[in-house]
Amino acid sequence: MHRTPWPVYLWPGLPQLVRDGNWAALAFAVAAAALLNAVLLGTWFWTDLFAPELRIISWVFLGVAWSISVGYWAWTDRRQAAAFEKTGGKFFEEALEDYLKGNWFEAERKLNVLLRCDEHDLEARLLMATLLRHTKRFDDATHQLNHLVRLDGAHRWALEIHREGGLLTEARKHTVTSVNSEHESKGDH
């Protein structure tokens, strides 16, 4: 089970931003930076702007809010890890179901959780490569396949890996051909 390194928890919102690309976590991390900057500026540079009592209250508020948020993100991460340990197989089934329904974002989010927990999960990595090909992120898909072929047990999936590599090559060619055709048709008019 791979966990987020502990220093990442020191910045509010950063763990979920790093792991999931969570927009709410991004907003929270930016808000934390803005609050910290405001308190630092009010304490050392714009000292006339805030009364001394207000500066003390600001630092106390910042410390309490920071501690609560860091604790909350760490607790959320640990809770998610514990839930995964109980339902790992079901989580893959849900990711596969989302993939088949075309819910790319949800499928990718669940596959990222699976791969964070076990980077040697061959099935999750192969499905991630396929999803990335479908969403036209060819370089990321290639990276997943290259990583996949180096894992122990990848030989059992050699046929599927080879097939996915061929589909990825065809998708790249089709995209380049489509772009070239588009440019040629615009140039004729």
- Over residues 56-71, mean pLDDT: 88
Residue 151 lies in a domain: no
Q: What is the pLDDT of residues 142-165, one digit of tens each?
A: 999 999 999 888 999 999 999 999
Q: What is the pLDDT of residue 4?
A: 61
Give the span between the Cα atoms of 17 and 77, in whole angstroms.
12
Total number of domains in the chain? 1
Give the span between the Cα atoms of 189 and 177, in whole angstroms.
19
Residue 135 lies in a domain: no
Nearest to residue 161, comparing CAs of 115, 127, 185?
A: 127
**pLDDT above 90 (res 188):** no
Residue 9 lies in a domain: yes
Q: What is the mean pLDDT of the chain?
A: 84
Nearest to residue 32, comparing CAs of 67, 77, 76?
A: 67
**pLDDT above 90 (res 136):** yes
Residue 100 lies in a domain: no
**pLDDT above 60 (res 3):** no
Q: What is the pLDDT of residue 91?
A: 80
**pLDDT above 80 (res 63):** yes
Residue 177 lies in a domain: no
Q: What is the pLDDT of residue 66?
A: 86
The answer to whether 140 touches 172, Cβ cutoff 8 Å, is: no
Q: What is the pTM of this model?
A: 0.54
Nearest to residue 129, comparing CAs of 114, 118, 140?
A: 140
What is the b/e burial string over 71-103, where b = at least 16 CB atoms within 10 angstroms of the residue's CB? Answer: eebbeebeebbeebeeebeebbebbbebbeeee
Nearest to residue 111, comparing CAs of 89, 86, 92?
A: 92
Q: What is the pLDDT of residue 165?
A: 94
Q: What is the pLDDT of residue 183?
A: 59
Residue 142 lies in a domain: no
For 20, residues 6+ apart whose C-beta sits below 8 A from its C-beta are: 109, 112, 113
Residue 162 lies in a domain: no
Residue 39 lies in a domain: yes
- Give Cα 12 distance to the centre of its chain: 16
- Over residues 118-143, mean pLDDT: 93
Q: What is the pLDDT of residues 8-52, one digit of tens each?
A: 778 887 877 776 667 888 888 898 899 899 889 988 888 887 888
**pLDDT above 80 (res 6):** no
Structure tokens at 54: 């207000």
What range does the domain containing 20 cover?
Answer: 1-88
The answer to whether 132 touches 141, Cβ cutoff 8 Å, is: yes
Q: What is the pLDDT of residue 11?
A: 83
For residue 122, which amino acid is it?
Answer: L
